[in-house]
Amino acid sequence: MRDSLRGIWVIAYRELLRFVRERSRLASALGMPIIFLIVFSEGLKRQIGGLAMGVDFVQFMYPGIIAMSVFINAVFSGLSVVWDREIGFLKEVLVSPLTRSGVVLGKAIGASVIGLIQTLVMLALAPAFDVSLSLVIVLELIPIVIVLSLAMAGFGLLIGSRMRSQQGFQVLVQMVVFPLTFLAGVFFPVNDVPRWMEIVSKLNPLTYGVDAIRRICLAGEVPGGALASNHPIIGVTVFGHTTTTIEDVAVVGLLGVVLLVGAIVSFNRQV
């Protein structure tokens, strides 16, 4: 047990150390989401104006991009395992008394902290996108970002535990993670798209993560609060039932538990 706990903090500590020391990684983790935000909002705001009930496109997209950045950052924690394997450092970790579960959870927690830093940087830009935040909103977002990060890190680590090359990992991310992210309602409401896309989107667990972040972020924009109301463009309606924030988080959280356990089992297998 003590080896597990120590493993978690030692591995998480190194992830953060690497994040800070590698300038390119720092720049891409913080720069990419900001570029996305600026380009999409500036590029599309004249074409697409107000959507429904006081929410315009930029406000709609803003929390979506926050969620997307959190997902992608977390998935890439799996890449750091592949990287560690390539440079040999993984052996140093595997031959130490740290437990495998500690290593997996440490990587996932490291990714969550980086995801939180990203989120806070993006939240600081909220006024530029006409989104008004309150302390309550920020405090509510923190646990949700952590749950989303842990879940997606579980996915990345599960793949990373099996992959030998960084290229292989990148290909998988491009073929699985990017499509899933784009079909998660980041840029458009999933309740109002062609039928096939609606089905795919609602089967996609990321959709619920995006929805959770959006509901909280836009709570101040929608009269009466988006959390309770049946807003036409916010919320995921499945079989006539529109999910609540808690249900959204539960979907992602359950998936995360399965993925993290899978990653730990997969790590244990390689001795």
Partner 1 sequence: MPLAAQAGEDAAKRCEAVSYEPKTPLSPASVITATGLARNFGRTRAVRGVSFDVAEGEVFGFLGPNGAGKTTTISMLCTLLAPSAGEATVAGYDIIGRRKDVRRSIGLVFQDPTLDEYLSAIQNLRFHAYAYGMPKRIRDERIHELMTLMELWDRRNSAVHDFSGGMKRRLEIARGLLHHPRILFLDEPTLGLDPQTRHRIWEYVLDLQQRETLTIFLTTHYMDEAENCDRIAIIDEGELVALDRPEVLKDSLGGDVVALRVEDGKAAIAELLARHGITAGLEGDVVSFNVPQAEEFVPELIRGFSSKVLSVTIKRPTLDDVFLSLTGRSIRDESPDPNQQLRRFVSTPGMRAQTR
Would you tell me which residues interact with partner 1 (CB under 8 A)?
2-3, 6-7, 9-10, 13-14, 17-18, 21-22, 84, 87-98, 271
The answer to whether the CB of 161 falls within 8 A of the CB of 270 is yes
Measured between alpha carbons, how far is 9 from 106 in angstroms, rounded to an integer?
A: 6
CB of 160 to partner 1, least distance (A): 16
CB atoms within 10 A of CB 194: 8
CB of 13 to partner 1, least distance (A): 7
Residue (93 or 249) nearer to partner 1, CB: 93
Q: How many helices (H) and strands (E) does the chain have?
A: 12, 4
CB of 180 to partner 1, least distance (A): 30
Q: Is 165 left (phi over 0), alpha (psi -120 to 50) or beta?
A: beta
Residue (1 or 135) nearer to partner 1, CB: 1
CA 220 to chain centre: 22
Residue (17 or 199) nearer to partner 1, CB: 17
Residue (84 or 221) nearer to partner 1, CB: 84
CB of 96 to partner 1, least distance (A): 4
CA distances from 131 to 57, 86, 145, 217 (A): 11, 43, 18, 8
Residue (23 or 195) nearer to partner 1, CB: 23
CB of 139 to partner 1, least distance (A): 31
CB atoms within 10 A of CB 155: 27
Residue (89 or 178) nearer to partner 1, CB: 89
CB of 127 to partner 1, least distance (A): 36
CB of 8 to partner 1, least distance (A): 11
Give the 3-state secondary structure of residue 236. coil
CA distances from 200 to 115, 150, 182, 252 (A): 26, 23, 11, 16
Amino acid type, 26: L
Residue (135 or 271) nearer to partner 1, CB: 271
DSSP sequence for 68-94 = HHHHHHHHTHHHHHHHHHHHSHHHHHH
